């Protein structure tokens, strides 16, 4: 799915989607032979998650940290739980 379609589906700007990718909330999106972003199902689920969390009031900085911990795997569970308690 092209970025304009994702933008329309989720009600966020193309610039916001590019920003989320640039800061690491969304891993680099695959591109087609012409260099155009081609969002897959996993990318769309990530965008949906981010939209939900932002709607709940989580700052981008907190989401960036959370996504980084999740990408590191189970060894970071303790860090996530500790942050949740605080």
2-42 per-position pLDDT tens digit: 999 999 999 999 999 999 999 999 989 999 999 999 999 99
Instruction: Enumerate the domain spans of the chain.
Output: 3-85
Within a 10 A sphere around the Cβ of 47, how many other Cβ atoms?
Answer: 23
pLDDT band at 82 (very low <50, low <70, confident <90, very high): low
Determine if the pTM surpasses 0.85.
no
Within a 10 A sphere around the Cβ of 28, how many other Cβ atoms?
Answer: 10
Q: Which fold has domain 3-85?
A: Multidrug-efflux Transporter Regulator; Chain: A; Domain 2 (1.10.1660)
Helix (H) or strand (E) run with residue 54 in it: helix 41-55
């Amino acid at each position: 799915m092209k970025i304009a379609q994702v933008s329309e589906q989720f009600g966020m700007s193309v610039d916001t989607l590019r920003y989320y990718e640039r800061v690491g909330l969304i891993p680099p999106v695959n591109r087609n032979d012409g260099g155009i972003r081609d969002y897959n199902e996993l990318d769309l689920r990530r965008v949906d998650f981010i939209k939900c969390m932002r709607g709940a009031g989580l700052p981008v900085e907190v989401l960036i940290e959370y996504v980084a911990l999740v990408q590191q795997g189970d060894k970071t569970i303790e860090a996530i739980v500790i942050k949740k308690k605080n």
